[in-house]
Chains A and B, each alone.
Chain A
Amino acid sequence: MQTDPSLNVAKLECVSKSYGGLRVLEDFSFELEPGCVTALLGPNGAGKSTVAGLLTGRLSADVGQISLFGLDPRDRRARARMGIMLQSAGLPETLTVMELIDLHASHYARRMATERVIEQAGLVDLADRRCSKLSGGEQRRVQFALAISGAPDLLVLDEPTTGFDSEARRAMWQLVRAKAEAGTAVLLATHHMDEADALADRIVVIANGGIVEDGPPSQIKSQVAGSVLRLRTRLPAARFRNLPDIVKVEERGADLAILTSSPRLTLESIFQIDPDLQHFEVVGASLEDAIENLIMSQSKKEAA
Chain B
Amino acid sequence: MSDLLPAAPRIYWLESKAEIIKSARMPQFIIPTIALPPAFYALFALALGQGSEAAATQTLATFGVFAVMGPALFGFGVNIAAERETGQLELKRLSPMPAGAQITAKIAATTVYCAVSLVMLYSLGIVAGVALDAAQWTAMILVHFLSIIPFSLIGIGIGYRFGQGAAVALANIVFLSLAVMGGLWFPIMAMPQVMQSAAWVLPSYHLGEIALMAAGQRNDGFLLLHVGPLLLITLATAIFAWTGERQQSR
Hey, which bits of chain A sit against chain B, CB under 8 A? Answer: 1, 56-58, 76-77, 79-82, 84, 86-92, 94-95, 99, 103-104, 106-111, 130, 146, 150
A240 to B238, CA, bound (A): 61
A77 to B6, CA, bound (A): 11
The interface on chain B, measured as residues whose beta carbon lies within 8 A of the other chain's beta carbons, has a size of 28
Residue of A nearest to B6 (CB): A109
Per-residue CB contact flags for chain B residues 76-88 toward chain A (1 = under 8 Å, else 0) read 0000000101111
Residue of B nearest to A146 (CB): B91
Residue of A nearest to B97 (CB): A107
CB B34 to nearest CB in A, in angstroms, measures 15
For this complex, 18 residue pairs linking A to B, each with C-beta atoms less than 8 Å apart, are: A1-B3, A56-B94, A76-B96, A80-B5, A81-B4, A84-B95, A86-B91, A89-B87, A90-B85, A92-B18, A94-B22, A94-B26, A95-B18, A99-B21, A103-B14, A106-B10, A109-B4, A111-B6
Given contacts A76-B5, A77-B2, A109-B6, contact A103 B15 (CB under 8 A): yes
Query: Across the interface, which residues of A come within 8 angstroms of B85, CB to CB?
Result: 90
Q: Is B246 an interface residue (CB 8 A)?
A: no
Among B129-179, those with CB < 8 Å from A are none
Given contacts A95-B22, A106-B14, contact A77 B94 (CB under 8 A): no
Q: Which of B21, B22, B95, B97: most chain A CB closer than 10 A? A: B95
Pairwise interchain contact A77-B83, C-beta atoms closer than 8 A: no
CB B93 to nearest CB in A, in angstroms, measures 8
Query: Across the interface, which residues of B come within 8 angstroms of A94, CB to CB?
Result: 21-23, 25-26
Pairwise interchain contact B18-A88, C-beta atoms closer than 8 A: no
Among B89-139, those with CB < 8 Å from A are 90-91, 93-98
Task: Please list the 10 inter-chain residue pairs (A to B) with the smallest Cβ-Cβ separation, ordered nearest first.
Answer: A90-B86, A88-B87, A94-B25, A80-B4, A80-B96, A79-B96, A76-B96, A109-B6, A107-B97, A107-B95
CB B166 to nearest CB in A, in angstroms, measures 17
Query: Across the interface, which residues of B come within 8 angstroms of A108, CB to CB?
Result: 4, 6, 96
A80 to B94, CA, bound (A): 9
15 further A-B pairs in the complex, CB-CB below 8 A; given A58-B93, A104-B95: A58-B90, A81-B4, A86-B87, A88-B87, A88-B90, A91-B86, A92-B83, A94-B25, A95-B18, A95-B21, A103-B15, A106-B10, A107-B6, A107-B11, A146-B91
Query: Across the interface, which residues of A come within 8 angstroms of B6, CB to CB?
Result: 106-109, 111
A110 to B2, CA, bound (A): 11
Pairwise interchain contact B91-A79, C-beta atoms closer than 8 A: no
Per-residue CB contact flags for chain B residues 2-40 toward chain A (1 = under 8 Å, else 0) read 111110001100110010011101100000000000000
